[in-house]
Amino acid sequence: MLSHLKNIFTRSTGPPSVLLVIGNFGAMIHVLHLLPEDGTIQGFGLTTRPTTFRYRGSREQTRELIGTVTLYVGDGETPNSFLDDVETRFRKLRDNELQRSSIEVTQLVQDVLKPAALNAIHERQDRERSMHATQTYPVYVVYILRPRSGRSMTELTSFP
């Protein structure tokens, strides 16, 4: 019990990680979470507060708006299908350029994640207009700290 209280007040910085987020904070967002230590990629959605990102013990360090993407929702395109496309591009770039199993988060973002996301955004800008409903979403890179290494953001925990 005392050690738990001590950890609350003297929480050390956890391992860094990165999220690719599509959507507006303060509403439903769709997330691609990259764990640099083992290459795991998770996708999930959640409703957030408009303030700093906090979820299951993870907390935001910085947030960068990298662009906006217009999805043809009337044609069946969803934020999750966009993230699936980014994940496919990410894996291809990572496999081609980075053969190490664990790399620094900033290098992962600069060399792989941002190019994959920006390519997916630009590809959607160059296509013909849809005759059906469209929706434009902001796309962010969010650097986070997790409670401990290997910690999945989708694991069930006692954190709120």
pLDDT of the residue at 40? 80
Tell me how far apart the alpha carbons of residues 119 and 139 are, in angstroms, rounded to a whole number.
13
Length of the chain: 160
Sign of the torsion angle spanned by Cα atoms 125, 128, 131, 132: negative
Tell me how far apart the alpha carbons of residues 112 and 96 are, in angstroms, rounded to a whole number.
10
Q: What is the pTM of this model?
A: 0.80
Helices within 10-78 (DSSP H only) = none
Whether 159 and 146 have beta carbons less than 8 Å apart is answered as no
Tell me how far apart the alpha carbons of residues 39 and 120 are, in angstroms, rounded to a whole number.
20
pLDDT of the residue at 82? 94
pLDDT of the residue at 99? 57
pLDDT of the residue at 57? 80
Long-range contacts of 38-44 (CB under 8 A, 24+ apart): 38/101, 38/102, 38/150, 39/94, 39/101, 40/152, 41/87, 41/90, 41/91, 42/152, 42/153, 42/154, 43/80, 43/83, 43/84, 43/87, 44/153, 44/154
Angle at 151 between CA 120 and CA 69, to 5 degrees: 15
Question: What residue ranges of the chain have pLDDT lower than 70?
Answer: 1-13, 97-103, 150-160
